[in-house]
Amino acid sequence: MRRAMLLHTDSSPLNRIAAEAVMYIDKNFAEDISDEKLASLSGVSVQHFCRVFRAEMSMRPLEYLAQRRLSEAKSLLVNTDMKIGDIGSAVGYGDRNYFSIVFRKYEGVSPAQYRRSRG
């Protein structure tokens, strides 16, 4: 009984660390965000932060950031006529080519192909 209670109590701060990082990323995804910045928000080491985040979210923090950015990019591709380079910039990728590389890695198609298939 005591062991289960300790496990539950120990997990509360871990959930808080990941939850704070997710909220920060969701609000600031277009900014330059690093593991160091996210760890400093919780006051823990980068290694501890990354370990906790991965345990809670089943992905690394910067993978979550990329997925959040791409989620917004997909919405902009389908719902606006913004240029692809402008969309990349709007979601945090200053380089259009890098944006296209990341988009293709996660979605399997280029941003232009995604737009054509959904539009």
pLDDT in tens, the chain (119 residues): 333 333 333 445 558 999 999 999 999 999 999 999 999 999 999 999 999 999 999 999 999 999 999 999 999 999 999 999 999 999 999 999 999 999 999 999 999 999 999 87
Please tell me the pTM assigned to this model: 0.84
Cα separations in angstroms, 106 against 20, 57, 70, 92: 24, 17, 8, 16
End-to-end CA distance of the chain: 56
The CATH number of 2-61 is 1.10.10
Burial group, residue 117, by CB count within 10 angstroms (0-12, 13-18, 19+): exposed
Q: Where are the domains of the chain?
A: 2-61, 65-118
Do 2-61 and 65-118 come out as alike in CATH topology? yes
Highest CATH level, class, for 65-118 = mainly alpha
